[in-house]
């Protein structure tokens, strides 16, 4: 065995290690492009022209890692890939306008599967008010889907992860923990409760939540793909603030509570650490009314280190409570 760190494999490094390497490259390329408002590293990059800016983000979804064809139909997989990708531009306060799709498919893929996948993808981008701007298909050993999402925003108004201020109120729009619950159900070979399984199969995105939050003066925003605490951690770190979540303010959905109880699990752990629901979480100036659909779950406090506390307790390791889950987050 070589001790040369460059011979470390992806398995050893982990995806986050490689993502960090790529993001470092993004940083070094920010030379003198006057039209770049916000470089990648946030949910999306923002590229300005006069008056209007484009918001761009790319995501890759791999069979066996982000989805399984025995757990989800092709329609569901198509919808999920579109939804998860478009949520990224919404979380910048942008209006989703388009998507580019590249698909790698094994030779054994049926025309039916491909048709159904496209039907689901087109349905979801249509629901978001977006159109398909481009596509490519390649043969591949397993199914791989790459989606580039495009949104528009008034120049200078995109909402990053870095604007939260002490005193702000934290609001969430959408469900959290449902997809994580659905994943646990599927992992046990079960197919119900449907509410949870469906939540895992196709996230329910409120595509106008981002622009509503922007209008209400949101100071920072993110969509929850890794988990509520993990993603709030991004806001805390990027903004240089602390975040305090008050679980008394969080309502546990009935199906989530009963399923967690049946599995001997804590439903709040699923809500706090489960990803893939793509709810939006944002920070708002105090004393302002939260926009429709957003519910208060905590507040922003001074803390230059950027910790996330849940009911006053440090929750830095929340992500670790669900090993294996990272394999299905996007």
CA distance 116 to 25: 37
Region near its own copies per CB under 8 A, out of 40-48, 241-249, 257-265, 310-318: 40-48
Q: Which two tokens stand for residue 247?
A: 């679980």
Choose among 70, 313, 283, 270: nearest CA to 182.
Answer: 270
**d(C-alpha 322, C-alpha 275), whole Å:** 10
Spatial contact of 286 and 223, defined as CB atoms under 8 Å apart:
no
H or E element at residue 262:
helix 254-262
Of positions 1, 3, 7, 312, contacts its own copies by CB under 8 A: 7
Q: Identify residues 57-116 at the interface with its own copies (CB under 8 A).
A: 57-62, 64-66, 97-98, 100-112, 114-115
Q: Which helix (H) or strand (E) holds 52?
A: strand 52-62
CB 177 within 8 Å of CB 281:
no
Give the span between the Cα atoms of 176 and 326, in whole angstroms. 15
One residue of 1, 3, 70, 138 binding its own copies per CB under 8 A: 138
Interface residue with its own copies among 86, 87, 144, 205 (CB under 8 A) is: 144
The position carrying tokens 């790319």 is: 58
* Cβ closest to its own copies, residue 140 vs residue 265: 140
Question: Minimum distance from CB of 227 to its own copies (Å)?
Answer: 17
Tell me how far apart the alpha carbons of residues 99 and 101 are, in angstroms, rounded to a whole number: 6
37 contacts 48 by C-beta, under 8 angstroms: yes
Interface residue with its own copies among 30, 187, 192, 247 (CB under 8 A) is: 30
User: What's the min distance (Å) between Cβ of 280 and its own copies?
Assistant: 19
Query: Would you say 69 or 258 has its CB closer to its own copies?
Result: 69
Q: How many residues interact with its own copies (rule CB under 8 A)?
A: 84
Q: Which two tokens stand for residue 209?
A: 């939540």
Neighbours of 326 (CB within 10 A): 17
Q: Using the rule CB under 8 A, which residue among 69, 73, 133, 217 binds its own copies?
A: 133
Map the footprint of its own copies across residues 209-248, applying CB under 8 A: none
Q: Which x/- pattern, by CB under 8 A, does the window 149-168 give for its own copies?
A: -x-x----------------
- Minimal distance in Å, beta carbon 237 to its own copies? 19
Give the Cα separation of 151 and 53 in Å (integer).
8
Q: Are 46 and 158 in contact (CB under 8 A)?
A: yes
Query: Is the Cβ of residue 175 or residue 278 nearer to its own copies in the bound state?
Result: 278
Residue 51 in contact with its own copies, rule: CB under 8 A: yes
- Cβ of residue 175: shortest distance to its own copies, in angstroms? 24
Q: Of the two residues 258 and 326, which places its CB atom closer to its own copies in the complex?
A: 326
User: Considering only residues 135, 156, 286, 302, which one is a binding residue for its own copies as defined by CB under 8 A?
Assistant: 135
Rounded CA gap, 289 and 58, in Å? 33
Nearer to its own copies, 138 or 264 (CB): 138
Shortest approach of its own copies to residue 268 CB, angstroms?
Answer: 29
126 touching its own copies, by CB under 8 A: yes
Q: Provide, rounded to whole angstroms, the least separation between the CB of residue 119 and its own copies.
A: 9
261 binds its own copies (CB under 8 A): no
CB-based contact 174:279 (threshold 8 Å): yes
The rounded distance, in Å, linking the Cα atoms of 94 and 153 is 5
């Amino acid at each position: 065995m070589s001790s040369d760190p460059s011979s470390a494999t992806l398995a050893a490094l982990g995806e986050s290690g490689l993502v960090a390497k790529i993001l470092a490259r993004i940083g070094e390329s920010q030379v003198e492009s006057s039209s770049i408002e916000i470089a990648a590293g946030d949910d999306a990059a923002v590229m300005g022209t006069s008056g209007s800016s484009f918001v761009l983000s790319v995501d890759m979804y791999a069979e066996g890692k982000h989805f399984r064809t025995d757990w989800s139909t092709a329609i569901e997989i198509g919808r999920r890939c579109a939804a998860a990708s478009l949520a990224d531009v919404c979380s910048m306060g942008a209006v989703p306008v388009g998507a580019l799709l590249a698909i790698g498919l094994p030779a054994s893929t049926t025309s039916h599967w491909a048709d159904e996948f496209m039907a689901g993808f087109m349905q979801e981008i249509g629901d978001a008010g977006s159109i398909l701007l481009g596509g490519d298909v390649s043969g591949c050993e397993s199914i791989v889907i790459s989606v580039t999402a495009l949104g528009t925003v008034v120049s200078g108004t995109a909402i990053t992860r870095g604007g939260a201020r002490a005193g702000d109120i934290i609001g969430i729009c959408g469900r959290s923990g449902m997809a994580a619950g659905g994943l646990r159900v599927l992992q046990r070979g079960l197919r119900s409760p449907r509410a949870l399984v469906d939540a895992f199969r196709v996230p329910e995105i409120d595509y106008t939540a981002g622009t509503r939050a922007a209008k209400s003066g949101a100071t920072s925003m993110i969509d929850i793909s890794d988990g509520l605490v993990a993603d709030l951690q991004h806001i805390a770190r990027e903004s240089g603030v602390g975040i305090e979540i008050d679980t008394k303010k969080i309502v546990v959905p009935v199906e989530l509570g009963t399923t967690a109880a049946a599995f001997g699990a804590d439903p709040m752990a699923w809500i706090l650490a489960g990803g893939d629901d793509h709810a939006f979480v944002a920070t708002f100036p105090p004393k302002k009314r939260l926009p429709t659909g957003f519910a208060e779950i905590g507040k922003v406090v001074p803390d230059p280190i950027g910790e996330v506390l849940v009911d006053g307790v440090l929750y830095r390791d929340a992500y670790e409570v669900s090993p294996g889950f990272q394999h299905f987050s996007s």
